Amino acid sequence: MQHVVKKKNPNRKQDTTCLHNSSEKYSTLKDQIAKLKKSYKDIKAAINNHGEELHREIDSVVKKFTSNLNEMESQCLDKLMSQENEITRKMSKITQMIAYLRKLLTLNDDSLVSAYKSRNAEYRTLPSTLIVSSPSFTPKKIKKEQIYQEFGFLSAFSIKKEEQKYQQFPIPTKEVNTMDSSDDHSSEVHKPLVAVSKVIAEINTDYALYKELRSVSCMNDEEIWTCGNNNKMKLYNLQGELIKSIQTKSGNFPNDITMTRKGDLIYSDYNDRTVNIVKKRHIETVIRLRGWMPTNVCLTSSDDLLIAMVSDRDKQTRVVRYSGSTEKQRIQYNDKEQPLYSPYGEKFIRENKNLDICVSDFYAKAVVVVNREGKLKFTYSGPPSTSKKSFKPYGIATDCWSRILIADSHTIHILDQGGQFLCFINNCHLDWPYGLCVDTNDNLYVAEYFEGKFCGRYNDLVSKYNLPLGRMLTGVFILIVRP
């Protein structure tokens, strides 16, 4: 009996250690919950404080406008009241003169009549009448997206499993045959997620054969600019009606297009080495390069212009930030002085909401993301389940949650802001998606290169991103634009 008790002692020690570790883990979890609640409380307080500060700034602006308006009103009233007083004084004298003349008519005093001198010339002319116009107030359209950008940035949360550091004791389990293809759940975690998409509209453009559709840019939530391999940039509404067509200044085809906050169109002219802006129908050259040719462009949240460009001699690629026509920043090498980008081809470029700069590099078969300072954050070469050779990135876009969308062959990749693959959009029968853009409501527009159509809308997907792995993402809406 004593032998049996001694034999079981090791098991009791193991159980004690395991239970002790479980107890510590439970205590750690309680601490983590408490810290998480405090962290969220602090963030909510910071958001509310920032909101109150923003309200104070808005109240200050309103007070300034009201003060200026009151000052203008005071000045105008002073002028009018001064004129009113002057006219009142003159009318009083006229009234007195009329009474005096009536008195003369009733008197038979020849001396008074002969002494009278007419004063009509003095009173005939009244002071000039002042015509005062009221000022006008023209409120600007409140852009929700711009308010979001100016207010701040809320990063996404993350949940990671921490590996257990204490010893694990074996627990008898049922063996699972991982080679059994009939069990779908055994390989579910290795399957890439697929967003269930829905095409809500297709817009056929008149980009004919060999004039492929290259780029799209939202002018607003109802109209979209397009460009292809001809010298015309065309504005369409969502019903597919051509609103406007503008020819490039040089007659070359535009390589890429983007929009300013004011609704002006910007385009890059590769062969002319220029970046130009279209204001109404007048085209101005903003930047003219020497030794470099601009490929792709995008406007940042601070109204800077990011230009991807290639050199015409030693075959280099860099991204340059401009404020107006002034160069502010160059992004070309990593910390080891190695090129960030391949020396050839287009480099679709977007600034993310967290101010990262995302570049789609087709020849490198990768998407390169750097932070605002130009430091490399990550490189994405496709999800682990696919080979690097099959990844052919073209257009790139970002949404309000800083997710990154990448056009690739017949599908679209969706990443989180850290480069983690989330899912595909590949059930819309896309034919070579090329240019991408997202409007202020997070509707996605996709330009098909050979088909020349653009498509869009995946806004409902945003609210579905945080579904746990293994579940389908739903609510993707696509609007296709074809030539």
Residues 169-227: tens digit of each pLDDT: 333 333 323 233 333 333 333 344 444 455 656 777 776 555 678 899 999 888 999 99
In a domain, 367, yes or no: yes
Mark whether 197 and 96 lie in a shared domain. no
The answer to whether residue 410 sits within a structural domain is yes
Query: Do 242 and 124 share a domain, yes or no?
Result: no
Together in a domain, 110 and 227: no
370 shares a domain with 434: yes
CATH number, residue 215: 2.120.10.30
Range of the domain at 113: 2-128
Please report whether residue 140 resides in a domain: no
Are 41 and 190 found together in one domain?
no
Residue 128 pLDDT: 75
Whether residue 141 lies inside any domain: the answer is: no
In the listed set 105, 128, 151, which residue is the last one of a domain according to the structure? 128
Query: Which residues 6+ apart lie within 8 Å of 406 measured at CB?
Result: 360, 367, 380, 393, 394, 395, 396, 412, 413, 414, 415, 436
Does residue 172 belong to any structural domain of this protein?
no
Residue 74 lies in a domain: yes
In a domain, 211, yes or no: yes
Does 103 reside within a domain? Answer: yes
Residues 334 and 204 in one domain: yes
Same domain, 189 and 121: no
Q: Are residues 92 and 233 in the same domain?
A: no
- CA–CA separation, 109 vs 62, rounded Å? 69
Of the three residues 83, 103, 128, the one that is the final residue of a domain is 128
Per-residue exposure over 345-366, b if at least 16 CB sit within 10 Å of its own CB, e if not: ebbbbbbbbbebbbbbbbebbb
| One domain for residues 282 and 193 | yes
Mean pLDDT by 10-residue block, N- to C-terminus, for the chain (483 residues)? 51 58 70 84 87 87 89 87 84 82 74 72 72 83 70 66 45 31 35 50 67 85 89 89 93 94 94 95 94 95 95 89 95 95 92 96 95 96 75 91 89 91 74 84 79 49 31 36 49
Domain tally, the chain: 2
Q: Are 341 and 347 in contact (CB under 8 A)?
A: yes
Domain boundary among 128, 158, 192: 128
pLDDT at 165: 45
434: tokens are: 């090329």
Statement to judge: residues 124 and 188 lie in one domain: no
